[in-house]
Chain A
């Protein structure tokens, strides 16, 4: 990913201007179609969320927003428990990001840098954790969570979400670290770094883009996950779990508001770390 991007400014950009018009046309149509595919539904959800009761039922729909107000949104947020659920979602997703990176990145680093007995088995095992359906694990988990006292806490939910995100975190960071030449670290060692210093000063800055991508992934997994969150909580629900419960008995514009709130944080999060998705320094792997 990073190498191709890094070369784009040098060779790709000037060539784009020279594309024959037919190809350029195709490129732009493709881009527009893709953007529409993603943005139009979001736009309509937003219209529904801010248009209020009348806006939702108006037919034919107007493309342009009219009589928008934040009132429906505020009403929605004032529904008992929504704000609390929103906070729970943020806590659970945030913790999932932290845990997946803290546990997954070292595992990925070990897989990338060291050869050890059972390495391939380990790699498979990491993925195998995803082979158990959550539905089967749910009941025993609930029982043990109640025993340990993790039941009905965002922390407990984040642990399960970490389990879901961890395999990908480990494997993505593995390929990420493999893409950073060992010589960088060796050079750092020779010039006076301990292993840890070399990691912090040399590997980490180069790995940031990939780590950001991993973080996004973990965040989105946690934010969107419904099943485990519904089962492991009763009052302290995450937003998805809470909405699942209340939306079926809510008016349509509330559902839109709920949907909109579900979409926004992921989009904002991706937007916030997008800078790191591109290789900031020109290369991450040589």
Chain B
């Protein structure tokens, strides 16, 4: 078991800066997801931790040992690749045993550990098959089993579920969480899928443009985004941002006023679609409904607040028609205030 310290890591590809001074501490046994859109540097960061890429500046420390200059094999970690990278010329057994064989484990040891990993991932019934005969989901299991078989101190996963179809992804996600919880391995998990990150991770590091925008538990990230990007990236529908003007600590929208944090004038009010409730008495933020989409579990309303696009989630039983104007109420503590100039949240302790 080991903790990971990423200390001011910078990575340049020619003139393009893929990582700008990234620092992150992952506790022993913790599951951290690196979440962000493609091109945000999350995979680059993972590959630097693995030793597959060399950082331009900064250090990577695993378990108190500076591994910055070490080759991948000397870092004592295991990795699951996006396209599985299960060796096609070896049986499932040999694939899972690969890391153990490289460690020169005894035959009995190899057999025991492979069988345990295989049982954990439910691949014990096709240990003697070749990967070509397996489905994508089964190959992914083999890749995870191969990583777990070496009982790594650190497990790195690079979008391991992105090549699976939606149903299988859901199933694997649940299973992965159970398996990793049991193994207690320090895990860094790269994904662009927020539901994966929210569901799996103890903490999420949201990355954008080569920087970490915010680190926190899934609920923190969801409820109190630190930047406009995080609010817009996390959540479905994404957080609504309504441009407002703050005068003397007060914001006027329609016929109501809201207290806002002081410090700047041009602000954006971040409002989650799920946090808005439709006020029965008709007083609140005016919302002009343009489209109503019944999603089964909820109604998705698309419309505008003060002429700005917004998406609101309403209970499935509500009777709202397109073209109507409704009033929205929201718990002030669940509102996010963003400084328009910096894009960062303000007024938060």
Residues of A within 8 A of B (CB): 6, 181, 183-184, 186-194, 197, 202, 205-206, 280-284, 286
Assess whether B78 is interfacial by the CB under 8 Å rule.
Answer: yes
The residue in A186, A202, A206, A280 that gathers the most chain B C-beta atoms within 10 A of its C-beta is: A186
Identify which of residues 138-169 in chain B touch chain A, using a CB-to-CB cut-off of 8 Å.
146, 150
Separation of A188 and B99 alpha carbons in the complex (Å)? 8
Q: Tell whether, in the assembled complex, residue B130 and residue A282 are in contact, meaning their CB atoms are under 8 Å apart.
A: yes
Separation of A188 and B146 alpha carbons in the complex (Å)? 11
The residue in B72, B81, B98, B150 that gathers the most chain A C-beta atoms within 10 A of its C-beta is: B72
Chain A residues with CB under 8 A of B133: 282
Separation of A145 and B22 alpha carbons in the complex (Å)? 61
Chain B residues with CB under 8 A of A197: 102
Tell me the smallest distance from the CB of B131 to a CB of chain A, in Å. 8
Q: Tell whether, in the assembled complex, residue B132 and residue A184 are in contact, meaning their CB atoms are under 8 Å apart.
A: no
Separation of A184 and B86 alpha carbons in the complex (Å)? 7
Nearest B residue to A184 via CB reads B85
Q: Tell whether, in the assembled complex, residue A186 and residue B89 are in contact, meaning their CB atoms are under 8 Å apart.
A: no
Interface pairs (29), CB distance under 8 Å? A181-B83, A181-B85, A183-B85, A184-B85, A184-B87, A187-B81, A187-B85, A189-B51, A189-B52, A189-B72, A190-B50, A190-B72, A190-B77, A190-B78, A190-B79, A191-B98, A191-B99, A191-B102, A192-B102, A192-B103, A194-B73, A197-B102, A206-B89, A281-B88, A282-B88, A282-B131, A282-B132, A282-B133, A286-B83
Separation of A181 and B78 alpha carbons in the complex (Å)? 18
Q: Tell whether, in the assembled complex, residue B132 and residue A283 are in contact, meaning their CB atoms are under 8 Å apart.
A: yes
Separation of A194 and B74 alpha carbons in the complex (Å)? 10
Nearest A residue to B99 via CB reads A191
Tell me the smallest distance from the CB of B33 to a CB of chain A, in Å. 20
Assess whether B71 is interfacial by the CB under 8 Å rule.
Answer: yes
Q: Given contact pairs A192-B103, A282-B130, enumerate 14 new A-B contacts (beta carbons under 8 Å).
A: A183-B82, A186-B50, A189-B73, A190-B52, A190-B73, A192-B73, A193-B73, A197-B102, A202-B87, A205-B89, A206-B88, A282-B131, A282-B132, A282-B133
Separation of A125 and B99 alpha carbons in the complex (Å)? 41
Separation of A186 and B78 alpha carbons in the complex (Å)? 11
Question: Which of B52, B88, B131 interacts with A186 by CB under 8 Å?
Answer: B52
Nearest B residue to A185 via CB reads B85
Tell me the smallest distance from the CB of B214 to a CB of chain A, in Å. 29
Q: Tell whether, in the assembled complex, residue A191 and residue B88 are in contact, meaning their CB atoms are under 8 Å apart.
A: no
Q: Tell whether, in the assembled complex, residue A186 and residue B72 are in contact, meaning their CB atoms are under 8 Å apart.
A: yes
Question: Which of B89, B102, B132 interacts with A6 by CB under 8 Å?
Answer: B132
Chain B residues with CB under 8 A of A191: 73, 78, 98-99, 102, 146, 150
Chain A residues with CB under 8 A of B83: 181, 183, 286
Chain A residues with CB under 8 A of B150: 191
Per-residue CB contact flags for chain B residues 80-107 toward chain A (1 = under 8 Å, else 0) read 0111010111000000001100110000
Q: Tell whether, in the assembled complex, residue A187 and residue B87 are in contact, meaning their CB atoms are under 8 Å apart.
A: yes
Separation of A286 and B85 alpha carbons in the complex (Å)? 10
For the complex of A and B, list the 7 residue pairs with the smallest distance between their C-beta atoms, beginning with the closest. A282-B132, A192-B102, A183-B85, A191-B99, A187-B85, A189-B72, A281-B89
Separation of A187 and B157 alpha carbons in the complex (Å)? 12
Separation of A186 and B158 alpha carbons in the complex (Å)? 13
What is the size category of the interface that chain B forms with chain A?
A: 20 to 34
Chain B residues with CB under 8 A of A282: 88, 130-133
Tell me the smallest distance from the CB of B93 to a CB of chain A, in Å. 15
Identify which of residues 119-133 in chain B touch chain A, using a CB-to-CB cut-off of 8 Å.
130-133
Separation of A181 and B88 alpha carbons in the complex (Å)? 11
The residue in A181, A190, A283 that gathers the most chain B C-beta atoms within 10 A of its C-beta is: A190
Separation of A189 and B98 alpha carbons in the complex (Å)? 11
Nearest A residue to B103 via CB reads A192
Identify which of residues 174-210 in chain B touch chain A, using a CB-to-CB cut-off of 8 Å.
none
Separation of A193 and B131 alpha carbons in the complex (Å)? 21
Chain A residues with CB under 8 A of B77: 190
Question: Which of A6, A186, A205, A283 interacts with B81 by CB under 8 Å?
Answer: A186
Tell me the smallest distance from the CB of B238 to a CB of chain A, in Å. 32
Nearest B residue to A204 via CB reads B89
Chain B residues with CB under 8 A of A280: 89
Tell me the smallest distance from the CB of B201 to a CB of chain A, in Å. 22
Q: Tell whether, in the assembled complex, residue A281 and residue B85 are in contact, meaning their CB atoms are under 8 Å apart.
A: no
Separation of A283 and B134 alpha carbons in the complex (Å)? 12
Nearest B residue to A191 via CB reads B99
Separation of A16 and B79 alpha carbons in the complex (Å)? 42
Nearest A residue to B84 via CB reads A183
Separation of A281 and B150 alpha carbons in the complex (Å)? 25
Q: Tell whether, in the assembled complex, residue A183 and residue B81 are in contact, meaning their CB atoms are under 8 Å apart.
A: yes
Chain B residues with CB under 8 A of A283: 88, 132
Separation of A14 and B94 alpha carbons in the complex (Å)? 31
Question: Which of A187, A193, A284 interacts with B79 by CB under 8 Å?
Answer: A187
Tell me the smallest distance from the CB of A189 to a CB of chain B, in Å. 4
Tell me the smallest distance from the CB of B332 to a CB of chain A, in Å. 49
Separation of A197 and B72 alpha carbons in the complex (Å)? 13
Separation of A189 and B99 alpha carbons in the complex (Å)? 10
Identify which of residues 37-65 in chain B touch chain A, using a CB-to-CB cut-off of 8 Å.
50-52
Question: Which of A184, A205, A281 interacts with B130 by CB under 8 Å?
Answer: A281
Separation of A281 and B132 alpha carbons in the complex (Å)? 7
Separation of A202 and B103 alpha carbons in the complex (Å)? 16
Chain A residues with CB under 8 A of B78: 190-191
Chain B residues with CB under 8 A of A284: 88
Chain A residues with CB under 8 A of B52: 186, 189-190
Tell me the smallest distance from the CB of A85 to a CB of chain B, in Å. 40
Separation of A103 and B103 alpha carbons in the complex (Å)? 32
Chain B residues with CB under 8 A of A194: 71, 73
